[in-house]
């Protein structure tokens, strides 16, 4: 890429940022945190306050014959002596998860062992072997408060641990991630709220309430979606809100505010959730990270939160159509939020399809955040169920979390059973690309109509769920699952070709599945309907 193109890409990326993001980025770059500064805690504790029960989690640490095995994000590392808390062999996300101290929630480890591990981790932080960072600090703080609250005893709460927790909260309160905003800033605020409540620090509580009140009003849209449009991060934030509801004063304004936000978010979760209980892989989403939607809804009911609110899908940009056989989820939005698109994909006008409760057309998912060929592909237009011209992205996704030029996407018409949207974007080598797509669903079939305004041949792609067998039977294909078959007919398609791809079962875990590429010029039509078993 030439230098002019790089400059243009950079300008297109940063021009959407809020001034506060730029200012805090410069501020933190000029004063990087090298180690955790030690502070002494001399206050009182809020002992044994109520916390929502954690859904079942996978154990990440196991000890055998003097070795420690760490199992995180489907990658295992074994240490023959002490844990290397700064280990980056498997990338930064793996190391972040190691530093979260999720092992504090493992009931199969003794309290003394968990305390020993935590003291060792803090030794690395205070000696500068690893630098403190706000996001891992936030999740670690909340895990530690849970651990203390569940196992309170003078013999366990040694001053060294309380001082470390207090020191970390002091660090976080001065290092809030305003430069990133989004889910990072929310996690910071929830950690301040939880830590401030436990250590009875009114300053931290007040700061947390201010951030949460402002940010949740912006970040939770009118249809209940978290504005990063990721089902995974949506459910992560929903859990944090439910957790805060469980320990905040039920007479406070914050408590009522959080309950209302939770009800809206549950509405979006239920609308987006397929009948089989799965959430769609939209934008950065992977299984096994957030708690399941069913477990979150159960927790909300236990807190007497309204789980029957009906907020129609609107500003999140998703539309869902459900008939007896079909469940269709479409993305008819562009890149949002514009100032923080780090978890966005170039997937406008893509769709997902379940038939009779089984996944048929799927999103390949997210398997890595590392800057690599796989990450670039997962965010690309090519990796989604839509069309491309000359294999170009409709949004300029680059690095691991950057987006340059963005498409303009408009809904032209919609009813209870259909939606028509149009995407327009600048092409990499000049000119414009326009794609209009119409979805229509009824009991018998699903129709997708594409229209493009370019002279070249256009390629559409469909990614099928693992375990599906696809056979070409002109003028269409037969899609077979173990329990049914679905017929797909093509109109005005020049050619089709079956290909294989890697479907993400989770981070660092893929399996081979199949897809089909189809070519057309200007217009084409796809017709899905049920076949006989």
Structural contact between residues 369 and 91, judged by C-beta atoms closer than 8 angstroms = yes
Check residue 533 and give its pLDDT: 46
Q: CATH no. for residue 513?
A: 2.70.98.70
Query: What is the rounded CA–CA span in Å between residue 386 and residue 348?
Result: 8
Q: How far apart are CA 194 and CA 180, in angstroms?
A: 21
Residue that finishes a domain, picked among 302, 335, 359: 302
Q: Residue 311 falls within a domain, yes or no?
A: no
* Domain boundary, last residue among 244, 277, 302: 302
Let me know if residue 307 belongs to a domain.
no
Give the CATH number of the domain where residue 224 resides.
1.50.10
- Inside any domain, residue 312: no
- Spans of the chain, pLDDT less than 70: 1, 153-157, 532-533
The verdict on residue 16 lying in a domain is: yes
Token representation of residue 143 = 């895990």
At residue 429, the pLDDT reads 77
Residues 103 and 20 in one domain: yes
Based on the domain organization, do 140 and 231 belong to the same domain?
Answer: yes
Cis bond before residue 532 (omega within 30° of 0): no
User: Which domain does 469 fall in, by range?
Assistant: 318-530
Query: In 10 A of CB 1, how many CB atoms?
Result: 8
- pLDDT, position 56: 83
pLDDT at 155: 55
Distance CA 413, CA 229 (A): 22
Is the same domain home to 91 and 191? Answer: yes
Domain closes at, from 254, 278, 302: 302
**Does a structural domain hold residue 309?**
no
Q: Do 279 and 235 contact (CB within 8 A), yes or no? A: yes
What single DSSP character describes residue 55? P
Q: Is 521 left (phi over 0), alpha (psi -120 to 50) or beta?
A: beta
Residues near 100 by Cβ (< 8 Å), separated by ≥ 6? 136, 139, 140, 143
pLDDT digits (tens, 9 = 90+) for 40-66: 999 888 877 889 989 888 999 999 988
Question: What is the DSSP pairing of strand 509-530 with strand 458-463?
Answer: antiparallel
Q: Tell whether 260 and 337 lie within a shared domain.
A: no
237 and 347 inside one domain: no
Q: Are residues 82 and 175 located together in one domain of the fold?
A: yes
Residue by residue, DSSP assigns 319-374 as EEEE-SSEEEEEE---S-STT--TT--S-TT-EEEEETTEEEE--------SSSHH
Quote the pLDDT of residue 150: 85
Residues 265 and 362 in one domain: no
Average pLDDT along the chain: 95
Question: What radius of gyration, in Å, describes the C-alpha atoms of the chain?
Answer: 24
Residues 358 and 326 in one domain: yes
For residue 168, tell me if it sits in a domain: yes
Q: What pTM, to 2 d.p., does this model score?
A: 0.96
**Same domain? 177 vs 209:** yes
Closest among 17, 97, 77, 33 to 369, alpha carbons compared: 97
Q: Is 394 found in the same domain as 273?
A: no
Structural domain count of the chain: 2
Give a yes or no: residue 310 inside a domain. no
Residue 313 placed within a domain: no
Same domain? 298 vs 322: no
Nearest to 346 by CA among 398, 422, 389, 272: 398
268 and 324 together in one domain? no
Torsion sign over Cα 87, 92, 94, 98? positive
Whether residue 285 contacts residue 226, with contact meaning beta carbons closer than 8 Å, is answered with no
Token output for 61: 């640490």
Alpha carbons 83 and 103: distance in angstroms, whole number: 13
């Amino acid at each position: 890429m030439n230098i002019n193109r790089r400059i243009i890409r950079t300008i297109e990326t940063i021009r959407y940022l809020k001034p506060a993001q730029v200012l805090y980025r410069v501020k933190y770059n000029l004063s990087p945190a090298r180690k955790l500064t030690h502070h002494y805690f001399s206050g009182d504790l809020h002992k044994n306050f109520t916390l929502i029960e954690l859904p079942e989690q996978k154990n990440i640490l196991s000890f055998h014959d003097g070795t420690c095995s760490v199992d995180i994000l489907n990658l295992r590392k074994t240490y023959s002596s002490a844990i290397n808390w700064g280990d980056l062999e498997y990338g930064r996300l793996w190391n972040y998860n190691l530093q979260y101290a999720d092992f504090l929630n493992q009931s199969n480890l003794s309290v003394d062992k968990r305390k020993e591990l935590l003291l060792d981790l803090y030794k690395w932080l205070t000696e500068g072997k690893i630098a403190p960072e706000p996001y891992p600090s936030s999740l670690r703080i909340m895990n530690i408060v849970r651990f203390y609250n569940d196992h309170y005893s003078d013999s366990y709460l040694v001053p060294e641990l309380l001082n470390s927790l207090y020191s970390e909260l002091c660090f976080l309160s001065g290092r809030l991630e305003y430069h990133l905003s989004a889910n990072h800033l929310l996690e910071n605020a929830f950690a301040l709220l939880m830590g401030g409540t436990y250590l009875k620090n009114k300053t931290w509580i007040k700061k947390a309430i201010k951030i949460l009140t402002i940010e949740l009003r912006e970040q939770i849209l009118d249809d209940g979606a978290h504005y990063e449009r990721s089902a995974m991060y949506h459910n992560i934030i929903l859990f944090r809100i439910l957790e805060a509801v469980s320990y905040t004063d039920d007479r406070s304004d914050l408590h009522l505010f959080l309950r209302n936000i939770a009800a809206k978010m549950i509405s979006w979760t239920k609308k987006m959730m397929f009948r089989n209980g799965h959430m769609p892989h939209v934008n950065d989403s992977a299984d096994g990270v957030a708690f399941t939607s069913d477990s979150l809804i159960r927790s909300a009911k236990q807190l007497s939160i309204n789980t029957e609110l009906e907020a129609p899908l609107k500003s999140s940009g998703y539309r869902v159509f459900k008939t007896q056989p079909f469940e269709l989820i479409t993305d008819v939005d562009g890149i949002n939020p514009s100032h923080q698109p780090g978890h966005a994909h170039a997937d406008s006008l893509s769709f997902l399809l379940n038939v009779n409760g089984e996944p048929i057309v799927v999103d390949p998912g997210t398997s890595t955040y590392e800057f690599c060929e796989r990450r670039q592909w997962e965010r690309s237009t090519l990796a989604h169920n839509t069309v491309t011209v000359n294999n170009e992205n409709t949004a300029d996704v680059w690095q691991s979390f950057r987006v340059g030029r963005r498409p303009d996407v408009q809904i032209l018409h919609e009813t209870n059973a259909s939606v028509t949207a149009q995407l327009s974007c600048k092409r990499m080598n000049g000119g414009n690309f326009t794609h209009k797509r119409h979805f229509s669903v009824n009991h018998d079939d699903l129709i997708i109509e594409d229209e493009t305004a370019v002279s070249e041949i256009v390629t559409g792609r469909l990614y099928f769920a693992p375990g599906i067998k696809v056979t070409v039977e002109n003028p269409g294909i037969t899609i077979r699952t173990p329990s049914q078959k679905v017929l797909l007919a093509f109109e005005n398609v020049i050619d089709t070709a079956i290909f294989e791809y890697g479907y993400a079962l989770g981070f660092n875990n893929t399996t081979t599945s199949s897809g089909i590429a189809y070519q057309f010029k200007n217009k084409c039509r796809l017709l899905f309907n049920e076949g006989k078993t």
